Copies of this chain bind each other. A is one copy, B any other.
Amino acid sequence: MDYTELTTEPIDITSVARRVVPPECGATVTLDGYARRFTKDKQTGETRETEYLVYEAYEPMAIREMQKLVEQVKSEFEIANVGIVHRLGKLEIGETSVVISVAAPHRRAAFAACEWLIKELKRTVPIWKKEVFADGEVWVEGDSQAPAL
């Protein structure tokens, strides 16, 4: 019941969350990341208004990397199932870009695993975000180095 998907369609958070629930579980923690209108520049402190986003992936590798994260998180946390869905293509402000749902018998593991997954996804999964402003656009470069080889 784990799954990792890329989609160009809008993401329904509830359905992502519910697909990971086995009957011995009592809690699902879901991270819903979405296109934000205002972004503060880390260097200048200025706030920029985003008009829309475009996400692009190296699709087969992105799926492989997401599947690796699922395997790893299940070996390290006491959780039942994991769902990861990342949207690609053009996203309007407020639309969900990524949903990560973790179901577990106990909520503590679900929180820890979900937080670990989004951190690692942002570090290792080959997906890129383009921010489009009124006066230009930029491919965002992540903070991270290449994952350890």
Taking Cβ atoms with an 8 Å cutoff, the residues of A that contact B are 12-14, 17, 21, 23-34, 36-38, 93-94, 105, 107-108, 111, 114-115, 118
Contacts and interface: CB of A to CB of B under 8 A. Distances in A.
A36 B22 CA distance: 9
Q: How many copies does the complex hold?
A: 2
A31 B102 CA distance: 10
Contacts of A25: 36
A45 to B, nearest CB: 14
5 contacts: A12-B14, A13-B30, A27-B31, A31-B111, A33-B107
A131 B124 CA distance: 43
A94 B118 CA distance: 26
